[in-house]
């Protein structure tokens, strides 16, 4: 489980084909690897991955073909990625509960400077649109954000300068693809409203 509060922006230092998937090495300066062990989870641009090797300030993960088919941003050497270690029970929950299981890939419609912040408009896959609500939470490339407006399958969030400075979201532009995870609670509410099976 994660919170969507990014701890560092890392770099994919290598991406090697491995039985239909990829083995990625990710370098990080500020994530803090001292308390990371083999088997631990790290969210890489919103995708929960298991650490299989640690080497100083870098770690290695395996990415399955299934994960590659339903996410974006893990297949290029040199790509910058948002990083967050899994929560401990004693950690503050500064964002919202994030599982690291990407629900779909969205497309940036617009990304504009509006003075004190930047307005980001994203088109979600139609199947996810019903889970996105004004003042609800959404995760974009691993970053916990609050939805400000919804129109059909498009939703809008505002990004403050701090968020742009400490995440990869400052690289977005119209047409960019992003990993989306809807609010965890929305899935369970829908299931409960379906009644007994």
**190 vs 59: CA distance, rounded Å:** 37
197 residues of the chain, pLDDT tens digit each? 999 999 999 999 999 998 889 999 999 999 999 999 999 999 999 999 999 999 999 999 999 999 999 999 998 999 999 999 999 888 888 999 999 999 999 999 999 999 999 999 999 999 999 999 999 999 999 999 999 999 999 999 999 999 999 999 999 999 999 999 999 888 888 888 887 55
Nearest-CA neighbor of 42 among 82, 92, 69?
A: 82
Nearest-CA neighbor of 146 among 114, 119, 175?
A: 119
Q: Are 188 and 158 in the same domain?
A: yes
- The two three-digit tokens of residue 37, written as one number: 């062990």
Q: Are 108 and 186 in the same domain?
A: yes
Q: Are 80 and 112 in the same domain?
A: no
Query: Does residue 139 lie within any of the structural domains?
Result: yes
Count up the domains in the chain and report the number: 2
Q: Beta 137-140 vs 177-182: how paired, if at all?
A: antiparallel
Query: Does residue 2 lie within any of the structural domains?
Result: no
């Amino acid at each position: 489980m994660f919170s969507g509060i990014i701890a560092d922006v890392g770099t994919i230092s290598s991406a090697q084909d491995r039985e239909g998937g990829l083995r990625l090495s990710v370098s990080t300066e500020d994530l803090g690897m001292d308390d990371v062990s083999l088997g631990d989870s790290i969210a890489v641009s919103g995708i929960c991955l298991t650490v299989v090797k640690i080497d100083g300030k870098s770690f290695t993960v395996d990415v399955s073909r299934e994960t590659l088919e339903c996410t974006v941003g893990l297949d290029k050497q040199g790509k910058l990625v948002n990083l967050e270690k899994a929560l401990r029970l004693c950690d503050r929950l500064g964002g919202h509960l994030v599982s690291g299981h990407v629900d779909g890939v969205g497309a940036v419609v617009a990304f504009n400077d509006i003075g004190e912040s930047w307005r980001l408009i994203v088109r979600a896959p139609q199947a996810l649109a019903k889970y996105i609500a004004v003042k609800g939470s959404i995760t974009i490339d691993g970053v916990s954000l609050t939805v400000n407006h919804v129109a059909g399958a498009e939703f809008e969030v505002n990004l403050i300068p701090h968020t742009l400075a400490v995440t990869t979201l400052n690289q977005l532009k119209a047409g960019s693809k992003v990993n989306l995870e809807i609010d965890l609670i929305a899935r369970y509410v829908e299931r409960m409203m379906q009644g007994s099976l």
